[in-house]
Every structure is written in C-alpha cells, then in structure tokens.
Amino acid sequence: MRKIGLVTVGRSDYGTCRCFLKALGQSESCEAWLYVAGAHLSELSGNTVSEIEADGFEIRERVEMVAASDRPGAIAASVGVGTLRFAERFEKEVPDLLVIVGDRSELLAVVTAALPFRIPVAHLSGGEISEGATDDMVRHALTKMSHLHFPTNEEHGARICQLGEESRRVFPVGDPALDRLRQPPGMTRAEIADSLGIELQEPVVVVTHHPVTQGEESEEEVGELIAAMSVIEATWIITFPNADRGAQGIIDRLGEFAEENERAVFVPSLGQERYYSLLGQADAMLGNSSSGIWESASFELPVVNVGDRQKGRMRAENVLDSEPQRKAIERQLGKALDPDFRASLAGLKNPYGDGDAAERIVEVLEKVVIDESLLRKPFVDVK
C-alpha cells in the first residue's frame, strides 16, 4: 500500500481534509497517515482535534507546535518548533508522499522538515491570491516546495505555471471541501438552535473575522464591524478567528459583544456538520473568512466580505465587498439581507468546484510515479 501522509493544522483546512480522507479510505492501493497539528491541538482554538476523533479517523501523529500567544515572535517560533517536531516524526517513519492544504504558516514547518527526507509533497488550493494576509506569500512558497499541485480551477492552475512549475504537475480538480455538499447537511434548524443554546430568530448572520496579518488595523476593523452589528437586529452566530497575530484582541471584542447581546453566541468552533448545516439555514455571512469566498456560493448565501484580507480571490456574485467602516458594512449587510438579492442568487455556480475533487486527487496519487523525475523540479520560464 502507498503510504499517503496528510497534514491538517486547523478548522480552515479540515473540511478539505475530511472529504479527501474519506475518498482515500476507498482506495485499494493507498492508505492514509494522518498528522494532526497546529490549532487543532490548541485550547485557544477549541481543541478541534475532538472533531477529527468524532469523525472516526485514525490519527497517526499529533504534532504540538502552536505557542499559547498571538505575538509575532511566538508565531514565528511555532514554525521552528513545528519543523523540529515533524522532523522527529519523519526520522521515525517516512510516508511515500505528503499532502498539504492551503496557506497556513504552520505548513512551512511541514515542507521544510520533509525536504531533507526527500518526501514528495502534493499541495492543494495553490495559485490563489489573498493580498490582505501573509498567507498569500506562504501559499506561493508552498507551491515552490511542492511536487504536485491540485488547484481549485484552471485560472489558479495557470498561476502555478507562472511560478515556474511544469504543467504536467498541475491538476485543476476543485476544492474537496465542496464534495461534502453533494449531500445536504444533516442538522435541522431546531437541532442547531438547541446545540447553541440560542433561538435562531431571523435574520440569522454567521460571523467570522480574522486578523489582517498584512497590516496593523485588526482591532480597528473589528471595532467598525461591531459598531455596524450593534445597530442591526439579528441573531449573530460568531466563531473564533484563526490563531494569527492579533487574534486575542478580536476574541476579546467579539466576546464582549456576545455577552452584552442576548441574540448573540460566540463559540470557538462550530464543527463541520453544524457549520454547514448552519450555512444552509442562515440569511447572511459577515466578516473576512475564506469560507465566505469558497463554500458560501454552494448555499446561494449572501456574504459581506469586510476589508482586504481576501483581496484578489476569485468570488461569485453572492459576495458583497465592504470597506472596513461601520456605515459601509451596515449598508452592504442591509443589501445582503434584502430578499430580492437572495432571490437573485438562485442557481449560482460555485467557481471552486463541482463536488468530485477528492476522488480526482486520489486517482492521480494512485497512479503517479514516485521517482527521481518527480522529486527533481526544473524551473519553466514563461515566454
């Protein structure tokens, strides 16, 4: 059996990993070695490793690497710690191929540790742009340290080739997270409300706002966000931000808002099943999460995308961009909650995939020849 290592570092990539693991479990020639690391093992982020355990996936290694702080020095140090700890795991046993997803800085530790062991790396969701986050630079660095590429669409695949990668290594397949949506999420509105301890009175707005890691304005942005939320009557389902620099300030401010608002609840993580079920019931999404760009279109869900964190990403017509100013946010959220706007999204196509990505990836990994020609990468000049 070909040993396929898969690394998940947080809830942001687990939706993709979950569907890929299920597809890999159907393979007759591959087995999954699951490495759980990063925010999954952090109390600050809700110890989301419990969701992986609940899904029944066997965890081969747990790799502690995230510092209990959002200071720049601690975040940088966590990459060093992660490199050391992944190197220790690879010293013990080496997978035949390693799969990573996305653009989190924790993945720099993974690929750096894999390099001297000559482990080929397959990278999912490369070629995208998010100019308002340091993730943008991390993503492109991961591309150059990977040997196979599974972008979500042809446009992103073309960008990977612009970075000097051979076209034979690039397979536009879609986002495996969308594979989960071929079947409607299972929780009813009443079950969601009961699990959150709050009545889902309309309109229901899902809120996730991450730090702006390419600037210093995170707390200013969340202040404007809360100011807009304070003048709109809604049920607010708020989740924690990513474990990035500035996360604690956002947690404190949104936590205060939730404590003072009886129609608001603030949770570290909703979990995959409850999150997707909620997107099917919600009236809008607010904040700057990549989920507002990726998954929301599959639910024909209006999204107010605040600020520049997702600047440059391909988006569907359900996304309404807003300056990080209270009046602008309030205006765009009003449009998002307009029934006519929601009705205009009927039949919306998601540019990130059609629901068969994981199976396509597994087919490639089953057949790809792992030899010197895979490990040695020429740089292809764009004429």
Which amino acid makes up residue 288?
N
Euclidean distance between CA atoms 141 and 2, whole angstroms: 26
Q: Which domain holds residue 295?
A: 184-343
Residue 348 lies in a domain: no
Based on the domain organization, do 95 and 55 belong to the same domain?
yes
Q: Check residue 242 and give its pLDDT.
A: 84
Based on the domain organization, do 257 and 152 belong to the same domain?
no
Cβ atoms of 40 and 131 within 8 Å: the answer is: no
Q: Check residue 75 and give its pLDDT.
A: 85
Based on the domain organization, do 61 and 150 belong to the same domain?
yes
The CA-based angle 27-31-33, given to 5 degrees, is 145
Based on the domain organization, do 163 and 193 belong to the same domain?
no
Residue 99: phi and psi, rounded to 5, are -110, 130
Q: Check residue 133 and give its pLDDT.
A: 83
The DSSP bridge partners found for residue 150 are: 124
**Helix, strand, or coil (residue 191):** helix
Based on the domain organization, do 25 and 157 belong to the same domain?
yes
Q: Check residue 383 and give its pLDDT.
A: 78
Cβ atoms of 120 and 97 within 8 Å: the answer is: yes
Q: Check residue 219 and give its pLDDT.
A: 80
Give DSSP secondary structure letters for 44-60: TTT-THHHHHHTTPPPS
Based on the domain organization, do 154 and 302 belong to the same domain?
no
Residue 380 lies in a domain: no
Based on the domain organization, do 258 and 141 belong to the same domain?
no
Residue 382 lies in a domain: no
Residue 160 lies in a domain: yes
Residue 221 lies in a domain: yes
Euclidean distance between CA atoms 209 and 187, whole angstroms: 24
Q: What is the pTM of this model?
A: 0.86
Q: What is the pLDDT along the chain (383 residues), one digit of tens a residue?
A: 999 999 999 888 998 999 999 999 999 999 999 999 998 998 777 788 999 999 999 999 999 997 767 788 888 999 999 999 999 999 999 999 999 999 999 999 999 999 999 999 999 999 999 988 888 999 999 999 999 999 999 999 999 999 999 999 999 999 999 998 887 778 999 999 999 999 999 999 999 999 886 666 678 899 999 999 999 999 999 999 987 888 889 999 999 999 999 999 999 999 888 999 999 999 999 999 999 999 999 999 999 999 999 999 999 999 999 999 999 999 999 999 999 999 999 999 999 988 899 999 999 999 999 999 999 999 999 87
Based on the domain organization, do 324 and 366 belong to the same domain?
no
CA 172 to chain centre: 18
Residue 285: phi and psi, rounded to 5, are -125, 145
Query: In this structure, what CATH number is given to the domain that contains residue 213?
Result: 3.40.50.2000
Residue 260 lies in a domain: yes
Residue 170 lies in a domain: yes
Euclidean distance between CA atoms 322 and 308, whole angstroms: 9
Q: Which of 211, 225, 327 is nearest to 286 (CA)?
A: 225
Euclidean distance between CA atoms 380 and 72, whole angstroms: 35
Based on the domain organization, do 188 and 258 belong to the same domain?
yes
Q: Check residue 68 and give its pLDDT.
A: 67
Residue 131 lies in a domain: yes
Instruction: Please state whether the peptide bond connecting residue 302 to the residue before it is cis, i.e. omega within 30 degrees of 0.
Output: no
Q: Largest alpha-carbon pair distance within the chain?
A: 61
Based on the domain organization, do 153 and 28 belong to the same domain?
yes
Q: How many domains does the chain have?
A: 2
Based on the domain organization, do 253 and 304 belong to the same domain?
yes
Based on the domain organization, do 20 and 134 belong to the same domain?
yes
